[in-house]
Amino acid sequence: MSNATPALTLSAQHLKRSFGKQTVIHDVSLQLHRGEVLGLLGHNGAGKSTTMQMLTGCLTPDSGSIAICGIDLLREPTLAKAHIGYLPETPPLYKEMTVADYLTFVARLHGLKAEAAPEALALALQRCGLNDKRNKLIGTLSKGYQQRVGIAQAIIHQPAIVILDEPTVGLDPTQIREIRTLIRELGNQHSVILSTHLLSEVESICDRVEIMQNGKLIYGDTSARMQRYGQISGFTVSLRNPPALSELQGIVGVTRVEQMTAHEFRVLHALEHNPSAELLTLAAQQGWHLEQLTPLQTRLEDVYAKITDAETSHAGESN
């Protein structure tokens, strides 16, 4: 991605798509900025793949607009698609070809001249960790390496935008880790849209997240802020000689105390006033014998459930 690439690489406005009488995408709008990794998160069937097919020009929306680096995808598809690299959920591989022959073939399809193809091939092989596989038949490679070839074909023409549909599905844990590292590195030189139903993928790769449910985007924010969504401020504390519950509840800043066991308590507090230091002091003074104090961690699964449950409740109230 060169410095000439605009700051806004993709803009999709009010996309709608139906199959027969069923509307599967409802008024979807999203943007992608230069050097950003955007995660499109949602359960299977949420509409992620259909949205990606529209963003890549493989499927025409019933209504709405898509601009790729300022070029109207619907009016000038060939020009716009030159700025896109796409890895569908099933990689478009010719398994009877060698890695090098296949990637050279793809480079020529993308319009690279014959003399430019070797340099593009060398760079794609290097970036995707495929140098020692260049002369192997694709069909003999592991699924993880076939996925790398799929990513290589998406970036060989140095597009501004790389769109990856469920890129780690079906891989083993080691392969998943390697592909995620590769995708994170792609974000240094490309704008990336990544669809996934895996929360850990968003957490480890994405700068920003859009959550899709029932063909609608229901939430969008940075990955870091999503993880703080509905965050509970508090900690669990273990006291060998605990006081009466009222004494813990009387500490300044404490909003609620729940007794979990005879010696363990869940203490919630105001976001701006953490009473843990005062609790430590009191425990030492009063002989409560504090054994452990652990801040509460908001799990990404809980955050996702809160967001989607809130949208489901809102939709139910609207009907």
Helix (H, G, I), strand (E, B) or coil at 2: coil
Query: 248-285: per-residue pLDDT in tens?
Result: 999 999 999 999 999 999 999 987 889 999 999 999 99
Same fold, 8-227 and 234-295: no
* Strand 71-72 to 63-68 pairing: antiparallel
pLDDT at 314 (0 to 100):
59
Per-chain mean pLDDT for the chain? 90
Please compute, for residue 5, the number of CA atoms within 13 A of its CA located in the half-sphere on the CB side. 23
Q: What's domain 8-227's superfamily in CATH?
A: P-loop containing nucleotide triphosphate hydrolases (3.40.50.300)
Domain residue extents for the chain: 8-227, 234-295
Asked whether the predicted pLDDT for residue 13 surpasses 90, the reply is: yes
To the question of domain 234-295 being in CATH 3.90.1200, the answer is no
Band (pLDDT 50/70/90 cuts) for residue 231 is low
pLDDT at 317 (0 to 100):
55
Question: Contact at 8 Å (CB) between 116 and 81?
Answer: no
Predicted TM-score (pTM) of the model is 0.76
Band (pLDDT 50/70/90 cuts) for residue 76 is very high
Asked whether the predicted pLDDT for residue 1 surpasses 80, the reply is: no
Min mean pLDDT across 4-13, 122-131, 171-180, 292-301 is at: 292-301
One-character DSSP codes across 215-273: TEEEEEEEHHHHHTTTPPPEEEEEESS---HHHHHTSTTEEEEEE-SSSEEEEEE-TT-
Selection from 16, 169, 31, 18 nearest residue 87 by Cα: 169
Query: 87-133: per-residue pLDDT in tens?
Result: 998 999 999 999 999 999 999 999 999 999 999 999 999 999 999 99
